[in-house]
Amino acid sequence: MSSKPTILSTKKLSEAQKELLLNSGLGYIEYDAIQIELLDVEIDKAVEHAIFTSKNAVLSILNSKFKIQKCFCVGEKTKKLLEEKGLQVLETAQNASDLAQIIVKKYKNESFLFFCGNLRRDELPMILKQHYVHLKEQVVYKTQYNSKKYHRSFDGVLFFSPSGVQSYTSENEMNKSIAFCIGNTTASEAKKHTATIIIANKPTVENVIVQAVKYFN
């Protein structure tokens, strides 16, 4: 009898998320490949147009006193968090490149403040600068690698951010592991280490897990 496939998650999962894996009969190991440090943010005037490409950026400004008039964000969960804080979300996209294209098409003459992390991707700032959209950046959280060496291989590895891929591959080879990725930017990073990649239909942790369960069952 062959042994059951084992999955590594590069992020610790909630109880409900773990159930999805355990009920499928897959073996499962988890760790946090990255650690996030939220920074204190103080801005002395109202922000007219704010860009958020991650929930971490939203979390870092939740207790700040400055006003934000309109938000542009990546992902439904980021949108939900902003709306729970009572903020108006004008545009949402699945990834940063798509959001940048919407801004270029519809809001080219506005000024934007991008709340980002220290390892932020280049796509959004690059597209906006190419089209002369006025953009300032404010680093509001720090991502640190939490590197860990595994002396074994996994049938599948679940990745939720480009920095998670970088952290895991800094100590481990992908070998024959299949990379299950939350979105295209994470998949672009994974492609540097493996050709075998499956991208979630929706950018949610649950959907990444579902793809792995479907693949191995």
Q: Which pLDDT does position 1 carry in this prediction?
A: 35
What DSSP state is assigned to residue 111? E
Phi, psi of 31 (to 5 degrees): -160, 165
59-64-65 Cα angle (round to 5): 150
Q: Are 74 and 103 in contact (CB under 8 A)?
A: no
Q: Which pLDDT does position 17 carry in this prediction?
A: 95
Residue 164: strand, helix, or coil: helix
pLDDT tens, per residue, the chain with 217 residues = 357 899 999 999 999 999 999 899 999 999 999 999 999 988 888 999 999 999 999 999 988 888 999 999 998 889 999 999 999 999 999 889 999 999 999 999 999 999 999 999 899 999 999 999 999 999 999 999 999 999 999 999 999 999 999 999 999 999 899 999 998 889 999 999 999 999 999 888 999 999 999 999 9
171-175-181 Cα angle (round to 5): 80
